[in-house]
Each structure stands twice: as C-alpha cells, then as structure tokens.
Chains A and B, each alone.
Chain A
Amino acid sequence: MKNKQLELMVGMFVILGFAALAYLAIQVSGLSGSSSKDVYQIQARFDDIGGLTERAKVSIAGVTVGEVDSIVLDKELYMALVTFNIYADVENIPTDSSFAILTNGLLGEKYVGVSIGAEEEYLTQGGEIYDTQSALVLENLISQFLFESTQGD
C-alpha cells in the first residue's frame, strides 16, 4: 500500500513537470505548429544594417511575414547581404517592393518593413530585392543636421 502511494506521488511529480514544460512551451514561448512554417528565401543588399540581427522580423503593414535568416558581408560591394525567410503562404510580394530597416519604437529592436511595389511579377525562392533603405544611424543624422545648420549661417 505504501509503495503504491509512493508511486502515485512520483507519477504526479512527473506529470507536474510535463505540465510546467507544456506551459512554458505554449504560454511563455508562444510555440505552435506555425514556428516551423514552410519558407522561401530572398536576398537583399543594404549599405548599412545598423543593429539588425538574425531572427529579426520582416513585416508588411505591421504583420510578421518572415524573419532574417543570415547576415554576411558582400566582399565585392562592401555591402551587407541579408537573407530573409519569408513564409510560403505570403507568396505575392512584388519584385519591385522596397525593404527598409526600421526601429520598433524609440529604443526597440530593429525590424524590416516592406513597402509593396507595383510590379505584377512576384518574388520566388532565391529572388533579390534591389530597392533597400539602410538603417537610420543617429550619428549620421546628427552630423547631417549640424552640417546643414552651419550652412545656413
């Protein structure tokens, strides 16, 4: 009898552990079947990526449609070559769309915003975006501002 009780307690302990793991997976990390979505990859070159990191979000109209897969330096052009994973169900991004590195709020993280173009051809696996806007670097902005204000004198 005592042994049964012991086994029951241990069983409950293990179940509690799995329940906690499920809680962490679903509620805390927001894990769902969609995390391993089918994706297709596209590339873009930026003059300056600022603080963009891997796994940063790509969004159209504020809705997440993909994420940054990798960032490497293009040694020939001295530009940042960014590869994006775009969810396969968003297959209608025009080829002349513009990718801009934006900041979420004043101090928030960097993400990539997509402005939709007018072309009727859509991006596919391995496609490349040519219209890119670099991250806004605060120092450049300030120096530009100072330069302009001294010119005015």
Chain B
Amino acid sequence: MKSIQSAGLTAINSIAAFGRAGLFLIHVMLHKPKSFSGAMNLLIKQIYSVGVLSLVIIVVSGLFIGMVLGLQGYTILAKFGSEQAVGQLLALTLLRELGPVVTALLFAGRACSALTAEIGLMKATEQLSSLEMMGVDPYRRIIAPRFIAGLICLPILCVIFSAVGVLGGEFVAVSWLQIHGGSFWSLMQQSVYFSTDVVNGIIKAFCFAIATTWIAVFQGYECEPTSEGIGKATTRTVVLGSLSILALDFILTAAMIGDF
C-alpha cells in the first residue's frame, strides 16, 4: 500500500513540476522588456558569459573530435580502398549528429550548470526576493536574459563546432594522411546539402538550447535555498539536460529522416 502511495506521490509531484516549469516558461517569454536598450545591455552581458566564455571548450573539443573522426574514418575506409570518402563521413557525422549533440552536452555542463548555480545562489541569498521588494521583476531582470542568451548562443556554438571539426578532419586527412584534397572536398560537397544537413543541424541545436536552458533556469529558480540545495539543483540541471538532449535528438532525427 505504502509503495503504491509513494509511486502516486512521485507521479503527482513530477506532473506538478512539469506544470510549474511550463508556467515558468510562459512567464519568462511573456515579460516584455521595459526599454529596448536596457534589455540589450542585460542580454549582451549574458551572451558574453554564456557564449563567448564557452567558446574555448567548444573550439578545442570540435578540433579534436574532427581529428579523431578523420583518423578513424581513414583507417576503416582505407580497407575498402575508398579513403576519399572520409570527407563525406566527416561532414555528415559532424553536421547531422555530433555537432549539435556534443555542443549541447558541453553547453549543459559548462554554461547551464553555471546558470543554475548563479540563480540558485541569488535565491539562497534572497537577492531575488529583494529585487521583488524593490519593484524589479526578477523574471525580466534575471531569468529572461539568461534564457534568451542560451537560445542565441547554442546554435552559434554548434555551427562553430562543426566548422572547426571539418577543419580538424581536413588537417588529419589531407595534410597528414595525404588524401587527395580535391576528391576530399568534392565528395563532401556532393553529399552534403545545405537546406537539409546544415539547416537541420541548426534546428536541432535550437531545440536543444530551449530544453537545456529552460531546465537550467527553472532548476535554479526552484532550488532549495541552501548550499546543499544549490548543489543538487546543479546536478539535476546537468543530468536532466543531457538526458533530454539525447532523447530529443532521437525524436528530431526520426522526424528529419522521415519517410517511415
């Protein structure tokens, strides 16, 4: 009896959390900024801390992932005598899957955890309630700029990741392993379509951005105002964010491949 009751409680709690998160998102999206330039100022600060500061980890991991893909692809494809196809393999894996997914996972670990911790600490030190006391809306002042900055930054980071990855793979395959550069690029260009592969990757990144930053700001806003609570909320952000990225990726890929 007890176990059934606790299962019911968990179900009710999680549905309630979903509802709160949905209302929270609507609140964030519906709060119009008072003045455009003030909002831009807040937004630019957040883009700097969320996007520009994540650039290093994105570029370095993109470079290495591209190089590893080039090396692995070369060793496997060389067995079939078609090592020129490395370019095709590299570009399609990066643009369709690895670019959006790895960027979003790194983003969840690097930027979203920081968002949760920051908002959580603001809540613990009662900065959010004092803002409210001063008549400043914390949704507008704190949450919305962070959320929108995440939406803007993740697609940009994803595009940069893919481009750097292709460059890294080209470095390994063409400069180091001596694949003919012309066939490397022409096979790549033949198989990659801008309107499907590149644009779909950006759409994926945008969906992941909505999911992870939403989770991050919501967990920060909802966290228990203690140091332990902030730690738990940060962990939850990374775990839930990563899981939702992987699950969303499956759904989006299935929808984009289509024809079933």
Contacts and interface: CB of A to CB of B under 8 A. Distances in A.
Interface of A: 3, 6-7, 9-10, 12-14, 16-17, 20-21, 23-25, 27-31, 35, 55, 105, 107
B44 A10 contact: yes
A37 B194 CA distance: 15
A24 B82 contact: no
Nearest to B54: A13
B114 interface: no
A76 to B, nearest CB: 24
B192 A28 contact: yes
Nearest to B186: A30
B48 A10 contact: yes
Given A6-B45, A7-B44, A25-B198, A13 B163 contact: no
Given A20-B164, A28-B188, 17 more contacts: A3-B41, A10-B44, A13-B47, A13-B55, A14-B156, A16-B160, A17-B159, A17-B160, A20-B159, A21-B159, A24-B95, A25-B194, A27-B185, A27-B189, A28-B163, A28-B166, A29-B193
Nearest to A9: B52
Interface of B: 41, 44-45, 47-48, 51-52, 55, 80, 82, 91, 95, 155-157, 159-160, 162-164, 166, 185-186, 188-190, 192-194, 197-198
B51 A31 contact: no
A14 B156 CA distance: 7
A20 B194 contact: no
Contacts of A13: 47-48, 51-52, 55, 156
Contacts of B95: 24, 28
B160 A35 contact: no
A29 B45 CA distance: 34
A35 B194 contact: yes
A17 B51 CA distance: 11
A30 B44 contact: no
12 contacts: A6-B48, A10-B52, A13-B47, A20-B159, A24-B162, A25-B198, A29-B198, A30-B188, A30-B190, A31-B194, A55-B193, A107-B82
